[in-house]
Structure 1
Amino acid sequence: MILLIDRATMRFVDVNGTACALLGYSREELLAMGPQDVLPTTREQLAHSYDTLIADPSLQNGMHAYYTCKDGSRLPFESTRRVLRSGDRWIIVAISRDIRRRAAAEAALRESEERYRRTFDLAGSGIAHVGLDGRFLRVNRTLCEVLGYPQEELVGKHVKEISHPEDRDLTDARRSRMHAGEMESARFEKRYLRKDGSVVWVDLTVALARDPEGRPLHEISIMEDITEAKQAESALRESEERWRVTFDMAGSGIAHVGVDGRFLRVNRSLCEILGYAAEELSRLTVKDISYAEDRDVTDERRARMHAGEVDALHFEKRYLRKDGLTVWADLTVSPVRGPDGATLYEIAIFDDITERKEADEALRAAHEELKRSNAELEQFAYVASHDLQEPLRMVSSYTQLLQRRLGEKLDDDAREFMAYIVDGAARMKQLIEDLLAYSRVGTRGKDFKALAGEDILRRALVNLRAAIEETKAEVTHDALPTIEADDVQIAQLLQNLIGNALKFRGADPPRVHVGVVEREGEWELWVRDNGIGIEPQYFERIFMVFQRLHNKGEYPGTGIGLAICKKVVERHGGRIWVDSRPGEGSTFRFTLPKARHH
């Protein structure tokens, strides 16, 4: 469109039809207006620019602006202005071209470039433009974070400078093929060295930017940091290797068994247990090598496990080795399930318990033999308590009868000999009774019950009342706990130990203390005295049957009391020992398990 403007009046003096069409005004309307009415500038600014143009016509270069149309819309234009002289008037000729399409294209281009810039700078992947010489031309923020360099240090640096030494030439061949047009892009996994020296793995995709003639301009590289994934892969490989070594070298037999019962994979130990090679087992099912009577023993429980009712199974089962021998296995089975919860296969762990089973059978036989032996011992105890003591009573009774009838007729030697006979019979009777007591500790014991320790001690002290009063002894005790025990045997244990303290006393009246201390899972009790003490070399011997450290003239007894104590303590699951020094007294210590809460 063409507009002619009178500088003096600052009004249009002529316009062409294109101007009317583009601006939406009629010719008459435009001729009544001036340029300041359609341009975004004031009359004074326009007048100044026109005066400048009049003063120097060489300034007739173009300008870009927009007109305001009659409907209020804006019309972008590119304009060239010239000056004409008409008489005494200066006429400004403005030739303007509608540039809406170009302006829209330029705006779209700017928007596209802004989107690209933001995409480049804010992308989650590292992006770089790399020159054909291998140097970084442009890098984004993410790539700087991946490689640990600021942007200004990366730009201009050669890619190989930061490549891991072993990967420095990794991409050369494929890049050359890409530059030659044999391939459009290339993808690699490659290591780089961060600025701090640490290694970073990247998944690298490289493509070429080309000019309109197809000549390479630069490379576009997109880098994804896959260090964590690589570390996870490495950890997984290590884990799988550890699992493989554990599977193959485990002392227990291990198998993966399909839902159809076939062996999928077996380890060395299972082959040794069953006597088959791995490839032989892979052709067999579990039932093929199961003992006939145990073939179907696990079916119901396995079905429940596959249905998700139980997580794992544990059972003992017999199998047949390749050589025909029977092997017992302690078996634990658990399922490996898929995402839908269905069983994919079973993991079965076999422990060979054949020797244990044989030992159990031998123990059962020994137990039966022990029961038979105990029955015979019971019979012996009956005989000892009745048949053996009857002759002793006759010897003692008739000897005493002779003493009463012939007392005055017997000389001193005869009376002494007869006294020996009576004393011997009495000691023999006591020995038989002690042996009976010893034998009955394990066979005539009562069931264990929770009992107050002080009640048991009180019973023992009642039985020893005469001896305590005779020796003027002082017996003290700690607060005793509740114990789970046979009250009769524990009372006998305490009675024997306190009785020994009263018997083996020194010159001073006996002082006896029953103490207790709590240990982990048990009580430790003791009986301490101020008696004659014991030499250390006899600490073990005194708990054996018939072992005496003194002659019966000094201290009466059969030598069975401490043996009974040891047997009682061991029946209760404890142990007994002594601490002593000659002349300083003794402390007999024993342990009893704590009462179990039902």
Structure 2
Amino acid sequence: MSIDQDFHSGVLEALYQHTTHAVVVVGKDRRVQFVNPGFTKMFGYEPGEVIGHTTEGLYRDTAQFQEIATELAKLGGQPPDDIYYALYRSKSGHEIIGETKAAVFADKQGNPSGFIGIIRDITETVYRTGLAEETEQLFRDALESVHDTAWRMDLVTNEIELAGPAAADIFGIKEKKGRLSLDEWKQRLTDDGVVACKRFMQDLLNTGHAQTFLTFQQPDGALIFTRDTGRVIRRAPDGTPLVAAGTFADITERKALEEKSTETEQYLDSALEAADLAAWRFDLVGNTCRLSGPLARLVNLKSENEEFTGAYWCSLLHRDDVGEVIRQTAAMAEGRSNSCDVLYRLKDKAGQWRWIRSIGGVTSRSDDGLGLVANGIIKDETETVALRKNLEAERNRFETIFRNTPAMLHQIDENGVVRDVSAYWLSHMGYDRDEVIGKPASTFLTEESQIYAENHALPDFMKNGRAKNVALEFRKKNGEVIDGLMNAYLETRSGTGERVGYGVITDVTQLRRAYRDLERSNRELDRFATIASHDLQEPLRKITAFAGILASRHAAKLDPDGIQYLDYLSDAAARMQRLIDDVLEYSQLEIRPMKPERLSLNALITDIKTRLSTSISQTGTTISVSGSDAILADRFLLNQILQNLVSNSIKYHADQPPDIRIRMLDEPGGWTISVSDNGIGFDPKFASQVFEPFRRLHPRGEYEGAGIGLAIVRQAVDRQNGRISVDTRPQNGSTFTIYLPRHSAQQNVA
């Protein structure tokens, strides 16, 4: 309906005529169409003075009128849904603070045709509230200054009002003032705090007043300790408590200080007792002192905590130490020093001299800076002084040994400068001591070693604290170059933090030469073995070939002796061929590079069975494998070990078919492989000899072979840093046991 129709109907007009609030009806152009008596009373305008005019003149200033227009535009011509506050101006010019609620009127088609506003004058209320808030703020500031928070609780609804710092600190309430329920209150309490809170409420309801200590937990987990007091301030006619009020004070800091103080006292007493110390207090003005603590028992006093004079104390001291004690005490009394730290000898009750260290400082001063009171501790350092003397004597002894030991020793600082060297170092290098001390250690190296030492060896040593087998070339005073291996240790001395390096240099020049000679010899031996085997095999092949031709083409022309001699020749050539092959294989084992890899014992034995299939078939040999299967080893070397042992077991079998049992155990340190058979065995006294090259325990014609098989086994085991042993008895078979260490295989892999 339209505005005119609405008000001409008289319904709304009668309603607004009797309200005490100002009612203003305006059109879309914000011109006044209607005002009620409440408006006239509030603003002082008669209806005829404002109807037809815009509402701009009702506001305190034009800016606010424009702000409302802008807000209406933002809201699409709709007034705010909520109550808003505006500053108005009456006809007489007085400022009116108005609480305003606006609504839209629409025509018959539903289109907005104007607004109605109801204004409540809250000027006096705001003024009074301002005074109350100012008073309340003063009260809250006072509470905060003493870390107290006021509370008031409706005992019927369990709603709590808070004002003070804890409102924000504990409950996160802004402005440090707000409301919360008793349940919300309890949610911030620790378990002990909840129990204490229940007891507090019971006392409050039963007696009308209560006091307790509560522990709250902040959102970040920190604990706040409080002292809570309160009383009932309002009751129902029947005496039922309705409202209670009180305060709770934050005593967290005080509690922490109390606990710290108690802890400190306990710690001090325990520390004095455990460390055998005594605490002292010296009156610098009255020249009197008191001792407390276990160490006081050493002093010739009538009782613990007995007061005695400084003169008496000095009478107990060694005469050579009295002067320093008096000097430091006087410096504190005269304000020239804040502390003392003096070591002196004191005669104990038994008449023995004890080394005592007194440490302390001024704890009270006069206005002019003079010391009044000093406090500190005394510590028995008799054993420490004795130990220090022993250490000094030991250090001197070490220096003597260091200088005179028949080894190349040197001492450097953290910059690599030589501090000391042994006499042997000087004699071996040809220098005088003053030519070495204070010089960089790298001065005595060749140019190439200098670069390596300064850029790598020395920085690594200072970082890791150790140097192990660092190869360097040293140049003697006469220009001769020697090969050296450096091993060193870095010591960081306690107290000073000084770092000193101690090094031992081993002259390995002769060893290096021998090693190079050995390498050259091995190369020549390898070359000789290869050439020799070739040169030896060439005539053997011819002997074998021509012997075969003679046997096939001219056997009819030979008498029986000739044929037998020809057989001897062929057999000797074959044995010579096997011997050459075995010797070449034996020589190659020592120089062949190691290549450890993951292997399967079963797979290796399967390959060996294939290679030895003829002899296995002819002798009816059975081979069984048990235990672990995986092993880390060199394939060639392990194959040599197993094949030679299996071949020996087949060769030296008894009357029954060979039964060979192979078992492997995977142990923490490595692998143990045993090869057992039911063969002829041998006397245990030959257990070590059977591994020697060309060592045979049986006549040559009885068993074929050159006697080098077990020597190959032994060498293959040694190459892998292993061990081999044999357990045997004649006609009772043999068990060969091989142990291959795990670390050796891993190192070779690395």
**Fold equivalence (TM over 0.5):** yes
Q: Name the counterpart of 2:602.
A: 454
Q: 1:334 to 1:352 in 2, by over 3 A?
A: closer
Instruction: Pick the aligned partner of 2:280 from 125, 132, 140.
Output: 125
Separation in 2 of the partners of 1:443 and 1:364? 19
Q: Name the counterpart of 1:351.
A: 504
Q: 1:381 to 1:519 in 2, by over 3 A?
A: farther
Tell whether 2:532 aligns with 1:380. yes
Separation in 1 of the partners of 2:541 and 2:525? 22
Tell whether 2:706 aligns with 1:551. no
Separation in 1 of the partners of 2:453 and 2:688? 52
Is the 2:292–2:305 Cα contact (8 Å) retained in structure 1? no
- The one-letter amino acid paired with 2:585 is R
- The one-letter amino acid paired with 1:274 is M
- The one-letter amino acid paired with 2:619 is T
Separation in 1 of the partners of 2:490 and 2:699? 72
Q: Name the counterpart of 1:561.
A: 709
Is the 2:476–2:482 Cα contact (8 Å) retained in structure 1? yes
Post-superposition offset of 1:155 = 9.3
Instruction: Pick the aligned partner of 1:426 from 571, 575, 578.
Output: 571
Q: How does 1:186-335 map to 2 (within 5 A)?
A: 189-193=344-348, 201=356, 203=358, 225-229=377-381, 231-250=383-402, 251=407, 253-257=409-413, 263-282=418-437, 286=441, 289-291=444-446, 294-295=449-450, 297-301=452-456, 315-322=470-477, 324-331=479-486
Structure 1's unaligned 5+ residue stretches are 1-122, 133-137, 179-183, 206-219
Post-superposition offset of 1:125 = 0.9
Post-superposition offset of 1:367 = 0.6
Q: 1:335 to 1:440 in 2, by over 3 A?
A: closer
Separation in 1 of the partners of 2:710 and 2:689? 10
Post-superposition offset of 1:285 = 5.3
1:28-52 CA-to-partner distances (Å, cap 9, x unmatched) read xxxxxxxxxxxxxxxxxxxxxxxxx
Separation in 2 of the partners of 1:505 and 1:562? 16
Is the 1:330–1:350 Cα contact (8 Å) retained in structure 2? no
Q: 1:267 to 1:534 in 2, by over 3 A?
A: same
Post-superposition offset of 1:429 = 1.4
Is the 1:477–1:515 Cα contact (8 Å) retained in structure 2? yes
1:320-354 CA-to-partner distances (Å, cap 9, x unmatched) read 43455444444468999999x9xx98745443332
Is the 2:677–2:734 Cα contact (8 Å) retained in structure 1? yes
Instruction: Pick the aligned partner of 2:297 from 111, 131, 147.
Output: 147
Q: Secondary structure at the match of 2:627?
A: coil
Is the 2:283–2:374 Cα contact (8 Å) retained in structure 1? yes
Post-superposition offset of 1:488 = 4.5
Post-superposition offset of 1:171 = 8.6
Q: Name the counterpart of 1:394.
A: 546
1:226-269 CA-to-partner distances (Å, cap 9, x unmatched) read 4355544544444344344334423552233585x764444545
Q: Name the counterpart of 1:63.
A: none
1:41-66 CA-to-partner distances (Å, cap 9, x unmatched) read xxxxxxxxxxxxxxxxxxxxxxxxxx
| Range that drifts further, 148-157 or 288-297 | 148-157
Q: 1:267 to 1:422 in 2, by over 3 A?
A: closer
Q: Secondary structure at the match of 1:545?
A: coil
1:412-431 CA-to-partner distances (Å, cap 9, x unmatched) read xx336514522541342143
Separation in 2 of the partners of 1:345 and 1:139? 39
Post-superposition offset of 1:452 = 1.3
Instruction: Pick the aligned partner of 2:681 from 530, 533, 547.
Output: 533
- The one-letter amino acid paired with 1:418 is I
Post-superposition offset of 1:534 = 0.8
Separation in 1 of the partners of 2:720 and 2:414? 50
Post-superposition offset of 1:374 = 0.7
Separation in 2 of the partners of 1:282 and 1:498? 66
Q: Secondary structure at the match of 1:125?
A: strand
Tell whether 2:666 aligns with 1:506. no
TM-score between the two structures when normalised by the length of structure 1: 0.58
Post-superposition offset of 1:360 = 1.6
Separation in 1 of the partners of 2:298 and 2:518? 77
Is the 1:144–1:150 Cα contact (8 Å) retained in structure 2? no
Post-superposition offset of 1:542 = 2.5
Q: Secondary structure at the match of 1:318?
A: strand
Q: Secondary structure at the match of 1:557?
A: coil
Q: 1:440 to 1:128 in 2, by over 3 A?
A: same
Count residues with an aligned counterpart. 434
Separation in 1 of the partners of 2:723 and 2:343? 73
Is the 1:163–1:193 Cα contact (8 Å) retained in structure 2? no
Is the 2:628–2:666 Cα contact (8 Å) retained in structure 1? no
Q: Name the counterpart of 1:517.
A: 665
Post-superposition offset of 1:378 = 0.9
- The one-letter amino acid paired with 1:360 is R
TM-score between the two structures when normalised by the length of structure 2: 0.48
Separation in 1 of the partners of 2:575 and 2:385? 82
Q: Name the counterpart of 1:115.
A: none
Tell whether 2:581 aligns with 1:436. yes
Tell whether 2:725 aligns with 1:577. yes
Separation in 2 of the partners of 1:173 and 1:563? 83
Fraction of identical pairs, as percent: 17
- The one-letter amino acid paired with 1:498 is V
Post-superposition offset of 1:455 = 0.8
Q: Name the counterpart of 2:249.
A: none
Separation in 2 of the partners of 1:491 and 1:552? 26
- The one-letter amino acid paired with 1:397 is I
Post-superposition offset of 1:456 = 0.8
Q: 1:337 to 1:249 in 2, by over 3 A?
A: closer
Q: Name the counterpart of 2:60.
A: none
Q: How does 1:76-155 map to 2 (within 5 A)?
A: 124-125=279-280, 140=290, 142=292, 146-147=296-297, 153=303
- The one-letter amino acid paired with 1:536 is P
Q: 1:199 to 1:563 in 2, by over 3 A?
A: same
1:500-524 CA-to-partner distances (Å, cap 9, x unmatched) read 2222222333222112334564323
Q: 1:450 to 1:431 in 2, by over 3 A?
A: farther
Separation in 2 of the partners of 1:188 and 1:558? 84
Q: 1:172 to 1:499 in 2, by over 3 A?
A: closer
Post-superposition offset of 1:385 = 3.4
Is the 2:355–2:385 Cα contact (8 Å) retained in structure 1? no
- The one-letter amino acid paired with 1:125 is W
- The one-letter amino acid paired with 2:567 is V
Post-superposition offset of 1:168 = 7.4
Give the CA RMSD over aligned residues: 5.1
Separation in 1 of the partners of 2:579 and 2:721? 22
Separation in 1 of the partners of 2:528 and 2:499? 53
Higher RCO, 1 vs 2 (CA within 8 Å, ≥6 residues apart): 1
Post-superposition offset of 1:389 = 1.8
